[in-house]
Structure 1
Amino acid sequence: MDKIKFGTDGWRAIIAKDFTVYNVARVSQALAAWLKQSHQAPVVVIGHDCRFAGELFAETATQVLCGNGVKVLLAKGFVSTPMVSFGVKAKNAQQGVVITASHNPPSYNGYKLKGAHGGPSSPADIAAVEALIPEQVTIPSANLKDLEAKGLLEYIDLETMYIDYLHTKFDFEKLNNAPYKMAYDAMFGAGQNVIRKTLPAAVLLHCDYNPSFEGTAPEPIHKNLLQLSQTMAETPELKVGLATDGDADRIGLYDEDGNFVDAHHIILLLIHYLHKYKQLNGKVVIAFSVTDRVKKMCAQYGLDVQVTPIGFKYISEIMVSEDVLLGGEESGGIAIKGHIPERDGIFDGLTIYEYMMETGKTLKELCEEIYAVVGKFAYERNDLLLQEEQKLRIIKEAQDGVYTAFGKYKVERVETIDGIKYHLDNGGWMMLRASGTEPVLRIYAEGNSQEEALDILEAVKKTVL
């Protein structure tokens, strides 16, 4: 059998090729064995997103876990990853499982593990489960009704629980009467019902069930959100556009002119709002690919900063044990104080919406507020689909110190926490990192303007290709 490997955020594979009922059963058997090593009566919350056969795979995990004497709380219908993480904590369960491939293309599905703290399982726990995955497994034949009758299975309405919780965190009466209206693009993902039910005046895009995602990967980056951008630009009463990915744990934003507001800006906006307006403190934890402007802002605000490898599990681990104001990734995964230690695109979006309402400022004006603190900057990213040998050649050359300049941009120093990050003589930076789940080389670049960031990307491509 193929070896199943968990990447930065779970195990992902192509449906019917490697992501099969049998392989899902193998992982579930390992999870059951691991849980029973340290718990007498473990409880697991299971949910699936909107991807093809999500229900089938969630039921397979349920059958295997229940067959091993593990009680399962199974979500009704599709749910977001934050809903499962919230449910684990709210129900005092020992573990959560989300059947999702997050932002990956529609041909993928995946298996995420969530810890008792309400966030990603720790790297050590994930490695321990991975080590127990058997070559062979017998899938129990018990049907779900029998498991329910035996008390091993209970159905749970995670979406209603989550929405009720949001009502304790946000004043929806105020938000629904805000002069600034919102557009929301669910990207056919699992967050689609939440905004519909909490902000009925919002303009909704791609908020229906479509497991093919119309052929577009449900990742909230500009090239995948052109309709949201156009809607914002053409509708004067819309002042903020929110997008979330397939399992609704990542965020993308648009301002009133239809301009994309990336995760670096969102992280800075949230730190600024939480600290300067809400008077909250704590450490800021960021992944290696996040802008150094965060360090600049935190230095001015007297906040500690810690940089982690890429993968939210590293950030969540720190959030559980320390006082953390915000944890964030370049890819749009952000967790904030006062919520679970989990990325949550909807919670983050509502916080930005609240910030706009409290200040009476548009998103564009709020970005000017952070530029006054850290200076104006722009960020761009290219994902290059390459042959494996070409990808490995570029990474090896980078690790061997072959690249000392990219066109006119000279390298001043290099960091290698996770990927290779080059700090450039113009005050910007660029970074090379191979994807752990796709045949992709990611190139990240920051400049003092969008033109400069794009120019850095072109210079990098000319140099490495």
Structure 2
Amino acid sequence: MTYKEKYNLWLDSKYIDESAKDELRNIKDEKEIEDRFYKELEFGTGGLRGVIGIGSNRMNIYTVGKATQGLADYLHRHYSGEISVSIAHDSRIMSREFSETTAAVLCANGIKTYLFDSLRPTPMLSFTVRHFGSKAGVVVTASHNPKQYNGYKVYNEDGNQFTDEGAEEIFSCIQALKNFSDIKTMDLEEAKSKGLLNIIGEEVDKVYIDKVKELTIRKDLVKDYAKDLKIIYTPIHGSGNIPVRRALKELGYESLAVVKEQELPDGNFPTAPYPNPEQPSVFNIALEMAKTIGPDVIFGTDPDCDRIGVVAKDGSGEYRVLTGNQTGVLLSHYIISSLKDINKLPSNGAIIKTIVTSEMATKIAEDYGVKLIDVLTGFKYIGEKIKEFEKTGSNTYLFGFEESYGCLAGTFVRDKDAVIGAVLICEMALYYKKKGMNLYDALNSLYEKYGFYKETLVSKELTGKEGQEKIKKAIEHLRHSQIEAVNNIKIIKKFDYKLRIEKDIVNNIESEIKLPVSNVLKFILEDGSWFVVRPSGTEPKMKIYMAVVGKSLDDADKKSRQFSEAIMSIIDEATK
């Protein structure tokens, strides 16, 4: 079916309301019509994500309804008896409507639903699935994307995002739905009266917050001195405001100032067009407050509160936004060293990170005799490893993190969790404060011991149908290219995660990569630098990760600039 035929199908359907049809009729640009209908909004391991609007390639109640019917069919295929699904949403435009649409479709399919009474962080949805023994979970969020986006993440019964096999089967169930009439729905009041729709709130919040507080390692330190730590926090108009503040308050952190302009939920993100703690600009207002308050630590959480960004004062007195790698490395070291200090470091402890995350964590783990495990990009693969540990007893999970500002301690959640992150970051900042150090001092001490690691990420945006084709062609070009060196430094290893081949170029030896298939390439150079190229799973972007190791901070900065210029020249040529 052509995009125009699909467009007319929506206009002619009795299941599409008139306001939606008016939106379609008012589109004058043919390219816009094509972009809205040239494909279905794809369902992958990250669920759905797209621009809000009417069309098959947009986020709306019809695409959400269709995805939910596919999920219901998948669940009935795999489970019998009573099936339940937990549902949450963040502060984005249409998030409540999409979560209620999800509940209405599931209830119409005889599936019991637990829907939060208002917005909640994504990690709380992961927890809730496990708390109620649900067979799946849905959270409506587009994480840190700009305001025009929304999304729909699906979790399995472990509270983990579906990985490849499960996501593909759900997608096949969605694709099997050919007509809007195949999508069942039910009035929410009727669903309540039948016991199918259950509104949840404080009873779940309390259990979750109590578990978060239990993750404190140096309990006496926090109990005695939490009141001394000065904190500035911004929820960036999202769902973290209440749970983050509640957890910290109950632990005794009394000196916490919230950025008022960014405190309340607002899907338009008026002070942060790109509401991502990776963007230093989201901290501008907090940094103005810092001139008066003089905080020990500043941090912010993204709209669905699964990512956390930290700001610390450097040696010159300036506040700097730490990268996700830097925060993850600090936390890895703090958790491992603290557990060792109190004689609670297990002999089979393990840290998990992704293949695009700093190798500095590997050095730290080696130093403490802790296993470091690499997984594919995506926190779902970290969650999958936690389950494996529980099943086999092979390792004890200590901590997991990824460069994109996500981390997790504990196992009662199976996704990155910025509420947990906030609690551990405050404890760590408090520990170093009592030693006369701040987090930047602590980071420098780790650099001096383990090496000056510097990582860079460039996201090359290539939108629309043409952009997606360019990304595919560029990665194929790099897959088959014979790049031997970068800046006269030899490439010694190439990892092709799609073909699952690791090639030792020096010795001309190939071996199997024992990870799921993914369209990712990684190149390692003889000086320890590396770069990775992959398509974004949630945005119209090609992501290029680059890393170097220097002899000093200045040396690492210089090497990073030169390396990045060389790599981006290769990428620009491949995407022409």
RMSD: 2.5
1:152 to 172, 176, 196: 196
For structure 2, list consecutive stretches of 5 or more residues without a partner in the other structure.
1-5, 7-38, 390-395, 498-517, 551-555
Q: Secondary structure of the equivalent of 1:255?
A: strand
Q: Secondary structure of the equivalent of 1:216?
A: coil
Give the letter aligned to residue 191 of structure 1: G
Partner in structure 2 of residue 445 of structure 1: 546
* Aligned structure 1 segments of 4 or more residues deviating by more than 6 angstroms: none
Q: What is the CA deviation profile of residues 201-236 of structure 1, one whole-angstrom value per residue up to 9, with x for unaligned ones?
A: 322232212112236222221344341673476356
C-alpha contact (below 8 Å) 2:84/2:113 kept by paired residues: yes
Partner in structure 1 of residue 18 of structure 2: none
Partner in structure 2 of residue 192 of structure 1: 241
Point out the more displaced range, 111-120 or 144-153.
111-120
C-alpha contact (below 8 Å) 1:183/1:228 kept by paired residues: no
Give the letter aligned to residue 80 of structure 2: H
- Is 1:135 aligned with 2:181? no
1:87 to 128, 134, 140: 128
Q: Which has the higher relative contact order, 1 or 2, with Cα contacts under 8 A spaced 6 or more apart?
A: 1
Point out the more displaced range, 220-229 or 14-23.
220-229
- Is 1:16 aligned with 2:53? yes
d(CA) in 2 for partners of 1:135, 1:228: 49
Say which one has the larger Rg: 2
d(CA) in 1 for partners of 2:532, 2:478: 10
1:33 to 73, 80, 83: 73
Q: What is the CA deviation profile of residues 308-343 of structure 1, one whole-angstrom value per residue up to 9, with x for unaligned ones?
A: 221222221111121322222221222223542221
For structure 1, list consecutive stretches of 5 or more residues without a partner in the other structure.
none
Point out the more displaced range, 85-94 or 123-132.
123-132
- Is 1:363 aligned with 2:468? no
Point out the more displaced range, 198-207 or 313-322.
198-207
d(CA) in 1 for partners of 2:471, 2:157: 37
- Is 1:242 aligned with 2:299? yes
| Alignment CA distance shift 1:405-1:461 (3 Å) | same
| Alignment CA distance shift 1:175-1:110 (3 Å) | farther
- Is 1:335 aligned with 2:412? no
C-alpha contact (below 8 Å) 1:380/1:450 kept by paired residues: no
d(CA) in 2 for partners of 1:39, 1:373: 56
d(CA) in 2 for partners of 1:128, 1:224: 40
Partner in structure 2 of residue 271 of structure 1: 332
2:493 to 376, 393, 413: 413
Point out the more displaced range, 410-419 or 185-194.
410-419
Partner in structure 1 of residue 365 of structure 2: 298
Seq. identity, %: 27
| Alignment CA distance shift 1:169-1:276 (3 Å) | closer
Write out aligned runs for 1:326-405 (5 A).
326-359=399-432, 360=434, 361-386=437-462, 387-405=467-485
| Alignment CA distance shift 1:260-1:424 (3 Å) | farther
Q: Secondary structure of the equivalent of 1:328?
A: strand
How far has the Cα of 1:454 moved from its partner?
3.1
Give the letter aligned to residue 73 of structure 2: A
Point out the more displaced range, 435-444 or 3-12.
3-12
Partner in structure 2 of residue 203 of structure 1: 257
d(CA) in 2 for partners of 1:283, 1:104: 31
Q: What is the CA deviation profile of residues 253-296 of structure 1, one whole-angstrom value per residue up to 9, with x for unaligned ones?
A: 11123212222222222222222212334222221101222222
Query: How high is the TM-score relative to the length of structure 2?
Result: 0.75
C-alpha contact (below 8 Å) 2:115/2:197 kept by paired residues: yes
Point out the more displaced range, 73-82 or 29-38.
29-38
Count of matched residue pairs: 465
Query: How high is the TM-score relative to the length of structure 1?
Result: 0.92
| Alignment CA distance shift 1:4-1:399 (3 Å) | same
Point out the more displaced range, 353-362 or 103-112.
353-362
